[in-house]
Amino acid sequence: MTNPFTPLLGQQQAIELLTQAVKQNRLAPAYLFVGADGVGRSLAARCFIELLFSSSVETKLITSLHNRLLQGNHPDVLWVEPTYQYQGQLLTAKEAAEKGVKRKAPPVIRLEQIRQITEFLGRTPLEASRNVVVLEQAETMAEAAANALLKTLEEPGQATLILIAPSLDSVLPTLVSRCQRIPFYRLDGESLAAVLTQTGHQEVLQNQALLSIAAGSPGSAIASYQQLTAIPPELLENLTKAPSSYRQALDLAKKIDKDLDTEAQLWLVDYLQHIYWYNWYKKEFIKQLEKARTSLLCYAQPRLVWECTLLSLYQKVNSQ
């Protein structure tokens, strides 16, 4: 049988821990996959589930199992993502983007979703030996949702839960204490290049700013490239230099507010911090952009945030 973990690069410790758990039949009721975004935690979860389920299917059905897990349509797997509330519906970030929903606050895992998990785990597995639930971005759970999940973790029944989070302190200690921790690490340069090449994103390797933002995370590097290419080229070109006048600063702020949603604006802050540092090596420019990030996260009016930021940058550049 092909090793399901073959696509996962640079995470040998996690692979060994999960593989041995299955081989020795010493599965924990719940796992906490801890590490930076984009380093393979979600891929590892899918590989782990495939390894768990492959022992209960015939060899000739392994390919079918792999494809069903990849497409997210296995009846014994529930994959939970943070959601937005919109017109009585819960929408994932992808669904919200497809519907063109205006997004201001970030998505969260809601109490209703934890209740869905409880209902899902209340039934007998249909095909596999157990039910599996994966919670992406578990750190987005509000306290009520986390407390509801805690009750499920205390009596998971015939199931395995996988929580995915960036750090131990981003999740309630009571949840952490009931999970076996599986650490994930940022990739070295060679592994990062291998993943980007393997996934058809070699062009990212030519952009040093994107690689710096990614900091060893292939997923972040790819997401950054997608963000970069979604920004109108003329706007991006003008922003990589300091504004040449007060009028240009105000015009750029207006265009940012019109063309980019909040998520894209927050990413733009990261990108400009790297570009401005390479151009000027001035800490005050970085600090000014950090103030912009804080204001955007506090739901300040984006156009006003960018007006203040770009006007300040113009003044600092021209006072030198």
**pLDDT tens-digit series, residues 204-228:** 999 999 999 999 999 999 999 999 9
pLDDT tens digits for 281-297? Answer: 889 999 999 999 999 98
| 158 and 297 housed in the same domain | no
Q: Which CATH number belongs to the domain containing residue 119 in this structure? A: 3.40.50.300
311 part of a folded domain: yes
Last residue of a domain, one of 185, 211, 233: 185
What pLDDT, on the 0 to 100 scale, is given for residue 320? 60
| 289 and 228 housed in the same domain | yes
What's the whole-model pTM score?
A: 0.86
Last residue of a domain, one of 185, 218, 251: 185
35 part of a folded domain: yes
What is the DSSP annotation of the chain? Answer: ---TTTT--S-HHHHHHHHHHHHTT---SEEEEES-TTSSHHHHHHHHHHHHHHTTS-GGGHHHHHHHHHHT--TTEEEE--EEEETTEEEEHHHHHHHT----SPPB--HHHHHHHHHHHTS--SSSSSEEEEETTGGG--HHHHHHHHHHHHS--SEEEEEEES-GGGS-HHHHTTSEEEE--PPPHHHHHHHHHHTT-GGGGG-HHHHHHHTT-HHHHHHHHHHHHHS-HHHHHHHTS--SSHHHHHHHHHHHHHH--HHHHHHHHHHHHHHHHHHH--HHHHHHHHHHHHHHHTT--HHHHHHHHHHHHHHHHHT-
| 166 and 212 housed in the same domain | no
What pLDDT, on the 0 to 100 scale, is given for residue 56? 64
Please list the rounded mean pLDDT of every run of 10 residues in the chain (320 residues): 86 96 93 97 95 70 76 90 90 86 83 95 90 96 92 86 96 94 96 94 93 94 94 94 92 96 92 91 91 92 96 84
Residue type, 241: K
Last residue of a domain, one of 160, 185, 210: 185
| 165 and 18 housed in the same domain | yes
293 part of a folded domain: yes
| 139 and 219 housed in the same domain | no
CB 78 within 8 A of CB 131: yes
| 285 and 144 housed in the same domain | no
| 208 and 181 housed in the same domain | no
| 298 and 215 housed in the same domain | yes
| 152 and 247 housed in the same domain | no
Question: Which domain, by its residues, includes 313?
Answer: 190-318
1 part of a folded domain: no
264 part of a folded domain: yes
155 part of a folded domain: yes
6 part of a folded domain: no
| 125 and 203 housed in the same domain | no
Distance CA 29, CA 151 (A): 13
- Residue 116, judged by CB atoms within 10 A of its CB (0-12, 13-18, 19+), counts as middle
What pLDDT, on the 0 to 100 scale, is given for residue 57? 58
